[in-house]
Every structure is written in C-alpha cells, then in structure tokens.
Amino acid sequence: MTVDVQALRRAVSPDRLIAIMVHPVPIPPDAPEIDAVVELLRHPAMIFGPGGSEDGIDARCKYASWDTLADYLDILERRRNVSVTYVRHLLHLAAHFTHRLGVKRSGPALLTVFDAEDVVSIRYEMPVHLSQTDAYEHTMAFWSELAYVDLLQPPFLLHFVDQPEG
C-alpha cells in the first residue's frame, strides 16, 4: 500500500508545536508547585504582562477565595486528573500564545470555581484588548492548538474575553 503524501492536509498553522516548547518560569526548589500555580493565577502579570487595572488588582476569584484555591486544584488533580503541572504549563502556553499574536491584557483576570455534586471545574478569563468576537476567536484558536496536541482539559479552561463576567 502506498500513501500519496501530496494528498495529505498540511497543518493549518505549522508553528502550533512551537508553543509546546515554552519553558515555565522556574519556582524555588523548596516551594510547592501548587503554591506557585496559585500565585500565577492570582498575579497573571508575572507572565501575561500588566493588565492595566486602575485599582491595582491583577486577578479576582469568584465562588472561592485565593486561600482555598489550592484545595480546588488538589480536587482537580485527584478526581479529574488535571495536575497543577498542567495548569502551570497551560498558563505559560496561553501567555506565549498572546505574546506571539501581539495581544495585550485589558484588566484583571477572573477565576471562577464551579463546585457542584462532587464535580469541580475552573474557568480562567483573561481580558484582552479585542472585541468580544475576536476574543472568542482567539479562545477557539488557542483551544484548537491545545486540542491539536491533546492538551485541552475541560475541567480547567482559559478563555480570552473582552471584559470578564463579574
């Protein structure tokens, strides 16, 4: 059997795999990774750049507190197989994605924890200087890149938005 390589579809974006080679910001050897992830979620300016918030808040937490977030991340790991290492890398991949496309933040991020009947999921909204439609298209493009290399995990989703929900 032969395969006509000319007939195969080429990847839409040949630079998709470059994002996989993003190296996360190192954490101190004695610091637990979960604490580093909570800090990245609480202070996205560390990797996404400044958010332009007038009140100085870099991120908000809805339906939870920053103090309890580590517990929810632990539940994601134990029950849904979404590790804090995955979340850490996802944040860096998203930051690389925005930098690659020249997209800038436009306000504080919003982390929302959904906890209902033993099912926990987290939504992380990153406001960007784009219209609602363009922010949605960037989210879909980012998810497509993650899915292309089997890295999209629905229990923890990062969205680009024009304005966070609340």
Q: From its phi and psi, is residue 48 left (phi > 0), alpha (psi between -120 and 50) or beta?
A: alpha
Token pair of 83 as six digits: 């590790």
- CB within 8 Å of 130: residues ≥ 6 apart: 103, 138, 160, 162
Average pLDDT, integer, range 147-159: 91
Q: How far is CA 135 from CA 47, 78, 159, in A?
A: 19, 32, 8
Does the pLDDT of residue 20 top 70, yes or no? no
Does the pLDDT of residue 9 top 70, yes or no? no
pLDDT at residue 21, as a whole number:
62
What pTM does this model have?
0.84
Higher-scoring residue by pLDDT: 54, 166? 54
pLDDT at residue 36, as a whole number:
93
pLDDT at residue 16, as a whole number:
53
Torsion angles phi and psi, residue 118, rounded to 5: 70, 10
